A and B are shown apart, each in its own frame.
Chain A
Amino acid sequence: GAVVSQHPSWVICKSGTSVKIECRSLDFQATTMFWYRQFPKQSLMLMATSNEGSKATYEQGVEKDKFLINHASLTLSTLTVTSAHPEDSSFYICSARETGGGSYYEQYFGPGTRLTVT
């Protein structure tokens, strides 16, 4: 149980285009999902907290208009990288907290999406 999927697992796009990444909780409902960014050989940096039915809360320094987050249902959150540039190339990882169940604090991580902008 407690599986989180991401789609796509990897994507290559041209500079200036937009890319959407999906994060789904497959067997549980998630009121809260988190989006992280990870550069090679570095740690995970929290980008934003996504709450179902409300606006995402972005961490300091993260451009809201560039990284659009939508959490329209209890099992799906999406991250759209708008007008992508090569510096946006990174590994994007989502995680989800189970609503009202199990460990109160535990987050379940997705497998990540590798974005390469050419």
Chain B
Amino acid sequence: QQQVKQSPQSLIVQKGGISIINCAYENTAFDYFPWYQQFPGKGPALLIAIRPDVSEKKEGRFTISFNKSAKQFSLHIMDSQPGDSATYFCAASTKSGGFKTIFGAGTRLFVKA
């Protein structure tokens, strides 16, 4: 019940295209859903996050879509660029769980120039 399932495992997108990564969760107590970007040999960096009272959040080229009833959320990267090539992790946490963050398995994105 603590799992966050992420797909696809890897993704290749043409420059300028849209990258879409999906995640699903079971624990309805989760109340914070961040997305992280990680480059090789570096720590993860927060990209964008959403609370379950909102169905969509957009920051620049990054958009989170959130479907509370389906317990699913997704990251859309518009106008994907080669510099976006990295590993992306969805995650979930809950205040009642001491703010522990549960990470998805990760998606390795490669944007072709």
Contact = CB atoms under 8 A, between A and B. Distances in A.
A109 B41 contact: no
Interface string B70-113: 00000000000000000001000101001111111110100000
Which secondary structure dominates where chain A touches chain B? strand
B43 A106 contact: no
Contacts of B61: none
Contact of B106 (A42, A107, A109): A42
Contacts of B32: 105
Interface range, A side: 20 to 34
Contact of B102 (A46, A109, A110): A46
A112 B43 contact: yes
Contacts of B104: 43
A28 B106 CA distance: 29
Nearest to B93: A105
Chain B interface residue bracket vs A: 20 to 34
A110 B44 CA distance: 8
Interface in A42-59: 42-46, 49, 57
Given A42-B106, A43-B105, A112 B42 contact: yes
A32 B99 contact: yes
Interface string A83-113: 0000000010101010000011111111110
Given A43-B106, A46-B100, A104-B95, 6 more contacts: A41-B108, A43-B103, A43-B105, A106-B49, A107-B46, A107-B101
In the A-B complex, the 6 residue pairs with the closest CB atoms: A109-B43, A105-B32, A112-B43, A111-B43, A43-B103, A44-B103
